[in-house]
A and B are shown apart, each in its own frame.
Chain A
Amino acid sequence: MDEMIEFLHDGPLSPIKKWGTKWSIWPTHLVTACCGVELAHAFASGYDGERLGVLNFGMARQTNCIVVEGAITRKMARILKMTYEQMPDPKFVIVMGVCGIKGGLFWNGYHMVKPFEVVPVKYFAPGCPPTPESLLRCFRALQDEIVTGEAKNTIAYPRVRLKSEGKKKRPKKVPPSPKYVALNPSVVVDVPRDRKWEEGMEYRQRISEILGEVAERITVTGKYRIHVRVSRDKFVDAARMLRDAGFDHVKSVNIVDVPKNKKFIVEYQVSSYLNPEFIRLILTLFTEIDREEATFPSLVDVWPSADYLERELHDLFGVWFEGNPWMGKPFLLAPDTPKNPLRKDFRLQEEVYIGGEDK
């Protein structure tokens, strides 16, 4: 076995092998983000990657290259590894976009995995998204490396004697019931997790100095993450105080739907660009509101960046932000979409198939 692989790598036929591999790189593409558009562009009429013999392919088994486009999350990392292991041996990985290098837009995200920790990457095409030229340049560099570089195996095969398990029928069993079932889990947003962050208490003290009596509870929930519980009536006041203290923008607005307790949890994640003290801190200001009469004072006057996020949540949850000029109109959704699609009691309309002619 090893002699045959060595013969392939260095034998008299290896120039032919290298030539064939060079001119026939067929990348399968793992599209996870917007870089897929640039890949399509690189193979369309403008740039035409097929000139180089590079042919886009959908399947893994028949290809020898994989182009990872965009951010690899923890769930996708498993799929990337599976896809890579399905490919036959002379195989290469090219990563498009900054998301695959350091995380890019999602830098320091809790869900991010760097592709080079999962599979051996040959070339990176940096950019957000990279231009088609840079992707094609990756392919050219790969072609050069195939000819000049050293042939190596990507996998070392262990000798395994397979048992003849194909002939036995597996006994049919009902899957066992799960060991732990939590009935009606309670939704708690501010669970304290302050062990990993030593300066957490100082920040907490600083926030409580800013907010004073207004804050009901201040919790450190992670590194550079602080949750502040405020009552609904004092929410705008708390927001004004924070803005005056230097929190100058809203990063995100969330709503958590808790139908069991008949409440929404409204969260405003705020941070600062200008105040160097808070520049790494993400502070979450949250309160609970009634689910039946879902109205909430808008924070557009305090932070203009909350505007679009509030419109979106009005679309998806039906919460009325008093003071936001856009209320009552659809913002993201098409006019014929059913109302409040992200509420947990929302049910999709069942599709009904009618057989017969295409009429």
Chain B
Amino acid sequence: MADTASLVSILLDRILSIFVDEMINIPLINPIVERLMEIPFVNVIVAFILWKPIFHVLILPGLLGMTLALLFIIYFERKITARVQWRVGPKEVSRRTGGVIQALADGMRYLFQEVIVHRDANAFYFLQFPLISFLPVLLPLMFIPAGGTYGIKTIYTIPAALALISLIPVFIVAMGWASNSKFAYIGSVREAFMYFAYEIPFLLAVVAMIVLYQTPDPFEIVAKQWILGAVMNPIAFLAFFITVLIATSRLPFDIPEADQEVAFGPYVEYSGIIFGLVMMLPYEKLYLLSMLSVILFFGGWNGPEIAILGDLAPVIYLYIKTILFMCVVSLARSIYARYRLDQSLRLGWGVVLSLSMIALFISAGWAAWLRL
């Protein structure tokens, strides 16, 4: 018995030593953490949660932060649309705070609602794809760093994140296929068309910024931004912004899921919490792309240091900038009317593609001049 006990304690120490090396340092909660670290078993759990990769993926820019940001952005979108239309928007659910928890109420309602799988659907894939589609949403979070925290540290993080984000439309098309319904089919075809229209200019705009900074490593990119990237290459930012609108199905381009025409397109047959999951997909994509655009164009986690927050301060800067960017994007919903499919395809293959090419040349010019 004594041997096994000592063996377990040695094993725990080994595990603990892995985590302790890369723990996030927050002076604000340090006294509590130190007290907890003295208790056996609990110290492993605390060290595990505060280990930088786990903290990054699960807590602040990761799952928890993303959920809060999405709940807020859905509420904000409804509220700002209401204000633009001279209405009040969601309010009565919590009068004093102006209805901030409206999206939470909607989510709870979806959680407890019946999930209908209709007979024509391919039930296996129909239920599987909404769950699997979380993979290309959560995996890019491993790659996009947030200054103080990071998941996987290589210099190829931005290309890797982009490659994973590009997988999301594949899942949406697959959902429409598994639904086996007329509107879902039309929506999937539209999604596929739009995918090809925006993906090339989008990648070119990101490549333009990588050429400008001469590195794909986000830490160096952020360190080099003593002038904001959006100022250095505004054309690239314009192309990036338009393609973000198309990629996340925001209103001027929400052609695949146009609810007045094709009744939410690929998502038409989903109900209950599964619909809640698939409806989150464009918003999750918006969160990731906003984080990427903040790193590329708005100085990432740059900001004045706050001693008491330690490593958490850059993460909070990035988070706040991301939410601000998302607010700007969601404002487009209440302003613009919807484009037709052919109009937006012409825009994607024509204007935005040429804009991103011009941006590439501008970046090449900057890079050549800066090296001199």
Contact = CB atoms under 8 A, between A and B. Distances in A.
Interface of A: 8, 13, 16-17, 19-24, 44-45, 48, 50-53, 55, 57-59, 61-62, 64, 86-90, 162, 166
A contacts with B: majority SS: loop
Contacts of B107: 20
A50 B90 contact: yes
Contact of B78 (A50, A52, A90): A50
Contact of B88 (A50, A55, A59, A166): A50
Given A50-B87, A88-B115, A59 B264 contact: yes
A45 B85 contact: yes
Contacts of B85: 44-45
A89 to B, nearest CB: 4
B270 interface: yes
A24 B264 contact: no
Given A23-B109, A44-B87, 10 more contacts: A16-B112, A23-B93, A53-B93, A53-B102, A58-B263, A59-B268, A88-B114, A88-B271, A88-B272, A89-B114
B182 interface: no
A51 B83 CA distance: 12
A88 B113 contact: yes
Contacts of A89: 113-114
Contact of B108 (A16, A44, A87, A88): A16
B109 A64 contact: yes
Interface string B87-111: 1111111000001001001111111
B275 interface: yes
B270 A48 contact: no
B269 interface: yes
Interface string B109-144: 111111110010010000000000000000000000
B105 A24 contact: yes
B78 A20 contact: no
A62 B106 contact: no
Contacts of A17: 108-109, 111-112
A309 to B, nearest CB: 36
Contacts of A44: 85, 87
21 contacts: A16-B108, A20-B107, A20-B112, A21-B109, A24-B102, A24-B105, A24-B109, A44-B87, A48-B82, A50-B88, A51-B89, A51-B99, A52-B92, A53-B99, A57-B259, A58-B259, A59-B263, A62-B271, A88-B116, A90-B112, A90-B114
Q: Which of A17, A20, A48 is the most central at the interface, judged by chain B CB atoms within 10 Å of its CB?
A: A20
Most B CB within 10 A of own CB, among A50, A52, A53: A50
A48 B87 contact: yes
Interface residues of B, number: 37
B151 to A, nearest CB: 33
Contact of A62 (B91, B108, B111, B264): B264
A61 B87 contact: no
A55 B259 CA distance: 14
B116 A61 contact: yes
A263 to B, nearest CB: 44
A34 B115 CA distance: 33
A23 B102 contact: yes
A20 B110 CA distance: 8
Given A23-B105, A45-B86, A61 B271 contact: yes
Interface of B: 78, 82, 85-93, 99, 102, 105-116, 119, 122, 259-260, 263-264, 268-272, 275
A24 B113 CA distance: 12
Nearest to B112: A17
Given A59-B263, A61-B271, A162-B119, A50 B82 contact: yes
Contacts of A62: 264, 270-271, 275
Contacts of B105: 19-20, 22-24, 53
A12 to B, nearest CB: 13
A52 B269 CA distance: 26
B259 A19 contact: no
A62 B115 CA distance: 10
A20 B88 contact: no
A40 to B, nearest CB: 12
B91 A51 contact: yes
Given A45-B86, A51-B88, A59 B109 contact: no
Contacts of A58: 259-260, 263
Nearest to A43: B87
A193 to B, nearest CB: 42
User: Which of B110, B115, B119 has the most chain A CB atoms inside 10 A of its CB?
Assistant: B110
List 4 tightest A-B contacts by C-beta distance, closest first. A20-B108, A89-B114, A88-B114, A23-B105
A13 B78 CA distance: 27
B167 to A, nearest CB: 25
Nearest to B89: A50
Contacts of B90: 50-51, 53
In this complex, which of B116, B271, B275 has the most chain A Cβ atoms within 10 angstroms of its Cβ?
B271
A62 B263 CA distance: 10
Given A20-B105, A45-B85, A53-B93, A61 B119 contact: no
A178 to B, nearest CB: 26
Contacts of B78: 50, 55
Nearest to B107: A20
Contacts of B93: 23, 53
Contacts of B275: 61-62
Contacts of A21: 109, 112
